[in-house]
Amino acid sequence: MEEVRNQQVILKDYVNGLPKESDMLLKTSSTILLKLPKGSNGVLVKNLYLSCDPYLCCLMSKSQVSHLESFTPGSPIAGLGVAKVVDSGHSNFKKGDLVWGWTGWEEYTIITAPDALFKIQHTDVPLSYYIGILGVHGMTAYYGFHEICAPKKGEYVFVSAASGAVGQLVGQFAKLTGCYVVGTAGTNKKVELLKNKFGFDEAFNYKDEQDIDEALKRYFPEGIDIYFENVGGKMLDAVLLNMKTNGRISVCGMISQYNLNEEEGVRNLSHIIMKRLHMKGFIVGDHFNLYPKYMEMVIPLIKEEKICYIEDIGEGLESAPAALLGLFSGKNVGKQVVVVAHE
């Protein structure tokens, strides 16, 4: 029976606030048998790609508000990944199947509840897309923008964290719908990308703006119909001042507020009343009944190159902790992915 190395990214201990690289340990000494224990109805997978997402850092705290459980100190952290089935005790999966879903930050993982995995059907697109545009992030952009905001042609759309995994898609879905789209990001390189690659009508670097309210008034003299919220805090406060009557805010994330001991206060909520705003939070996992509908829409867009999807790919599990934390300093350009193995 073949036993192989199984490098892992271990959470050392619960973290308060934003984790540091030293809170994670790359453990190189673990090994794993490439065979499921007898009687298991799980699957053993070889991890190929891991998705770096801000909320994973929340799960390193003992008390956190996510719908997901906190990670366990001493064990590998986990997240979304693309993987290949090595051994299966479940009738839906067989050796060689490509899957995506929740997996460990390690080379091999035994997934004990494989019903939550998605089998990958289309392999003529980059496999890493399944932890991005063809997975949770794509569905997040689709559900949050199309289903919550019900956009109409000609409406004004603002996207924060616009070059990120979800934001870049929201902007492009908005353009395909005939909306006017402005995005914001935290580096000039990202701003260029928004305008030149993703086709946003305008984009700005929020770090260059003394006053976000003033910037929004410049970019949206008539106000904002739809705000796709990834950021929270001061950005939301400025957006509230600039929403139009009957505006919609899809609350997808509040990255500026994660890992703060106390969230920033948002002061302009009374605009919700006067402007009749609709604000809706969502967890995309509730809405995967719409996944086939979404795939039907997005696969042709990818194949016909009507949509552009940019990834920032880190090589090797050893690069994963830095790649994850880089999300908070805005280092990544596009969706942050780590390659654990190419096949």
Q: Residue 130 or residue 258: which is nearer to a second copy going by CB? A: 258
Q: Is 244 in the site for a second copy (CB under 8 A)?
A: no
Contact flag: residue 257 with a second copy (CB under 8 A): yes
| Farthest CA pair distance, the chain | 68
DSSP state of 106: B
Q: Judged by CB under 8 A, does residue 81 bind a second copy? A: no
Nearest alpha carbon to residue 11 among 109, 87, 138, 105: 105
Min separation Cβ 320 and a second copy, Å = 25
Binding mask 183-222 for a second copy (x = CB under 8 A): ----------------------------------------
Cβ 105 vs Cβ 8: under 8 Å:
yes
Task: From 13-21, 46-54, 91-99, 280-288, give the range in contact with a second copy by CB under 8 A.
Answer: 280-288
Q: How far is the CB of 234 from a second copy (least distance, A)?
A: 10
290 binds a second copy (CB under 8 A): no
Catalogue the long-range contacts made by 11-14 (C-beta closer than 8 Å, 24 or more residues apart).
11/60, 11/71, 11/72, 11/73, 11/74, 11/75, 11/76, 11/77, 12/73, 12/74, 13/73, 14/60, 14/61, 14/62, 14/70, 14/73
Using CB under 8 A, count the residues that bind a second copy: 35
User: Is 113 or 260 the residue whose CB approaches a second copy more closely?
Assistant: 260
Torsion 20-24-26-29 (CA) sign: positive
Q: Write the CA distances from 287 to 44, 176, 253, integer angstroms.
A: 27, 22, 16
Our finding on whether 70 is near a second copy (CB under 8 A) is no
Work out whether 85 is an interface residue with a second copy (CB under 8 A): no
Nearest to 343 by CA among 46, 24, 113: 46
**Which of 38, 67, 153, 342: binder of a second copy (CB under 8 A)?**
67
Binding mask 5-44 for a second copy (x = CB under 8 A): ----------------------------------------
* 271 near a second copy, judged by CB under 8 A: yes
- Give whichever of 270 and 329 is closer to a second copy, judged by the CB atom: 270
What is the distance between the alpha carbons of residues 89 and 243, in angstroms, rounded to a whole number?
53
Phi-psi region of 71 (alpha: psi -120 to 50; beta: other; left: phi over 0): beta
Indicate whether 267 belongs to the interface with a second copy (CB under 8 A).
yes
d(CA 127, CA 262): 38
Q: Mapping DSSP to helix (H, G, I), strand (E, B) and coil, where does residue 19 land?
A: coil
Helix axes 188-196, 167-177, angle to 10 degrees: 30
Return the range that interacts with a second copy (CB under 8 A); candidates 30-38, 112-120, 181-189, 272-280.
Answer: 272-280
By C-alpha distance, which of 271, 265, 299 is closest to 129? 299
Binding residue for a second copy, selected from 286, 315, 316, 318, defined by CB under 8 A: 286
**Minimum CB distance to a second copy smaller for 38 or for 67:** 67
Contact indicator for 10, 25 with CB cutoff of 8 Å: yes
Q: Which of 74, 281, 300, 316 binds a second copy (CB under 8 A)?
A: 281
Nearest distance, CB of residue 233 and a second copy, angstroms? 9
Question: What 8-state DSSP symbol labels residue 264?
Answer: P
CB atoms within 10 A of CB 37: 11
Residue 261 sits in the site that holds a second copy (CB under 8 A): no
Among 69, 262, 305, 343, binds a second copy (CB under 8 A): 262
Segment near a second copy (CB under 8 A); pick from 104-112, 164-172, 211-219, 273-281:
273-281
Binding site for a second copy (CB under 8 A): 65-67, 232, 236, 245, 251-254, 257-258, 262-283, 286
